[in-house]
Structure 1
Amino acid sequence: MEENYYIARDKTEEGPFTLKDLMQADIDADTLILSPNAADWQRASDLPELFHYFEARGYYFPTEDNLAGFGWRLLAYIADSFIMSYPIALLKPESFDAIYKRAMNGGATVDDLSTMMQFNLLTFLVMAMYHTICEFSPLQGSLGKKLFRLTVVDADGRRLSFFRALTRNIGKIVSGTALFIGYLWVLWDDRKQAWHDKWAKAYVLVKNR
């Protein structure tokens, strides 16, 4: 079958193109294309034969085959906890160990509890900014995620904007309430999204699957 692809740009139709020519035509994910296998125009990101073309340009489209499950995400979380443990330890108050021991023995004062809450909040904010910056950067995910070939994208396979990455990571404070049900949501969600993924309209994928 002859490969005849057409491109719609600026209200004009260009083509026909072979698939090879199409990949050299400076298309992006939103370019409208008429495929020889379709009766109507489609976004370039919806054509399976172009997936590898876009992956080479940093696009990773969410599909049923590449959504990261809870296990992979948990491994990345553990790795990030180790990676960030040292810089977070530098922020710990000198009296924190003594405060923690008093709390474990049931003798914590109101000031002790306030100090612990402040440190926990600071830890959360540091981790949230770490993940936000990594997801917004060309890494498209934390160092722990990179270790396990995971990447964070939006619904169109693109890198998250700073605001969307920030929304996702601040939202983790809600996902972590009520026995971490927002995180566990990945286990039964059809799109393997946690609550904070859904709010940011983001997906965690396994690359090159």
Structure 2
Amino acid sequence: MENKEYAGFWIRCGAALIDMVVLIIITVVPLFFIYGDAFFIEDKNIHGIWDLLFSYILPFVGTIWFWLKYRATPGKIATKLEIVDALTGNKMSTGQAIGRYFAYIISTVPFGLGFIWIGIDKRKQGWHDKLAGTVVIRNLHKESVQFEIRPDA
């Protein structure tokens, strides 16, 4: 693909940080208003139906929707990255998106090695990318700079 490159570890890390901020705003803030301090203090896996909805269902559905509609999450959109099928460069399938989401667990469990792998892999694929058959690419297309008055005039 012309004007594209594989997205490396640090740009993807930046995109993930943006996504975390967005996720905290749309999940933790409402849960604090619903459950109060108990949400942070009590030692429960799930505090109730709203916790299940905001902490598990909404992130899953939202992430899959963003991946399929925009080929990216808000963080990847902001950093001009997109997730595509590793073989064709086309939009990933619904199955790939769901598999990629759950493959994050595999990338996370052994000390985050599946994410660190992005920094050493030649196609910059994390384990979740390899398992789902996806790659993350970066658009290198730069807008040309336009001046009202030509410098030599």
Q: TM-score with structure 1 length normalisation?
A: 0.57
Aligned residue for 1:83? Answer: 22
Q: Say whether 1:70 aligns with 2:9.
A: yes
149, 152, 165: which is aligned to 2:83? Answer: 152
Any residues of structure 2 matched to 1:3-152 within 5 Å, and which?
A: 51=1, 66-89=5-28, 90-91=30-31, 94-95=34-35, 97-98=37-38, 100-101=40-41, 112-115=43-46, 119=51, 123-137=55-69, 139-152=70-83
For the residue of structure 2 that corresponds to 1:179, the secondary structure is: coil
Q: Aligned-pair distance for 1:94?
A: 4.0
Aligned residue for 1:195? Answer: 127
For the residue of structure 2 that corresponds to 1:196, the secondary structure is: helix
Any residues of structure 2 matched to 1:161-200 within 5 Å, and which?
A: 161-200=93-132
For the residue of structure 2 that corresponds to 1:153, the secondary structure is: strand
Give the whole-Å Cα distance in 1 for the aligned partners of 2:91 and 2:62.
16
User: Which gives a bigger RCO, structure 1 or 2 (Cα 8 Å, sep 6+)?
Assistant: 2
Q: Number of paired residues?
A: 137
Q: Which has the higher helix share?
A: 2
Q: Aligned-pair distance for 1:123?
A: 2.4
Q: TM-score with structure 2 length normalisation?
A: 0.75
Q: Between the two proteins, what is the percent identity of the paired residues? A: 26
Counterpart residue type for residue 17 of structure 2: I
Which runs of no fewer than 5 residues in structure 1 stay unpaired? 1-50, 56-64, 102-107
Q: Aligned-pair distance for 1:91?
A: 4.0
Aligned residue for 2:144? Answer: none
Counterpart residue type for residue 97 of structure 1: D
Give the whole-Å Cα distance in 1 for the aligned partners of 2:53 and 2:122.
32
Q: Aligned-pair distance for 1:93?
A: 7.6
Aligned residue for 1:208? Answer: 140
* Coordinate RMSD, CA, aligned: 2.6
For the residue of structure 2 that corresponds to 1:66, the secondary structure is: strand
Q: Is the 8 A contact 1:176 1:182 kept in 2?
A: yes
Counterpart residue type for residue 77 of structure 1: A
Question: Over residues 100-130 of structure 1, what are the superposed CA-to-partner deviations in whole Å (9 max), with x where a residue is unaligned?
Answer: 34xxxxxx6xxx23337x9589625433332
Which runs of no fewer than 5 residues in structure 2 stay unpaired? 142-153
Give the whole-Å Cα distance in 2 for the aligned partners of 1:165 and 1:147.
20
